[in-house]
Structure 1
């Protein structure tokens, strides 16, 4: 009996890791914004933002593991409004980032940008948490995984907890890796022109992804 329980926990752990990496690894608008944010601020701010994304993934994994099939009918009617809201927020973030980068460059303040922290770690965490929570596809993704393998995430609190923690840990490790890449990019681009180009490019990518989201 204990062997079966251990196998169930291990299976839930593996399923959670796969689920977390599966939802986190595809590079989208949020990942692009995370890298750009870290590149123009600090690794500390980027790490808090990364944990905001991972927290949202963990919360959605928890909802899916506990509620299962009951989640989809609740989420489906509001998917389109959430998708529009998410896209509009992304467009606003892209426009704001690009405008600030251009304004600083024209104002000859780009050389001091490396030491600036225009957003606090807590605000970065909350901003990325809220932005990721607007994506209903995440909870549908986790619900589909849970329903597709009821034997892995059975209605057992231990297995559910292991699944959720594993999904959170996987997402957090990937998001922190992205933040680390953003920090390295920021160090490489010490000049004002390089930072300007990076910020404007990332804003264009985020804008394009948001428009694609609206078109779905």
Structure 2
């Protein structure tokens, strides 16, 4: 599903991060969270489509993606709407600003050589430019194509995926904390930041990709 279709769906509780739709619902206590998850489970069974669920004491995180095609589809949009309706009926608010997803990025001049090693080490599937853990236990690993080089340089960096309407605020906070913007020509898709010692990280959104 294309980026504009996701935006046009106007899912106020949900944000697209790396590959999937994510939402955080503030349940406030474990019993209320369990009741919410139970209701979501019944809706998922009726739809024949199931979210990934993380139930904590004070909130429930949900993730929706169509695993058969490894992307967001209309099935995810439809179930996201149903879940939001359940939350509203139970008086539960969402907190999109609490969403984030970490991806590791590795500069590689020889992806064919490096990729299988990292896939084996992380017990993940190696497709395209990514190694993805099948059960979501570990961050995904993305290979950034680069020229071969001998001089020491930062090879690993973090990609911090944020809701598109939160990223600018987080970048400003990082700059206020002593960082600097290194590259923003392709914002809001990604902005490269550096800490005071020059270590880099990217703040990424799904827009303009």
TM-score of the pair, normalised by structure 1:
0.25
Looking at both structures, which has the greater relative contact order when contacts are Cα pairs under 8 Å and sequence separation is at least 6? 1
TM-score normalized with structure 2 length: 0.26
The structure with more helix, counted as a fraction of residues = 1
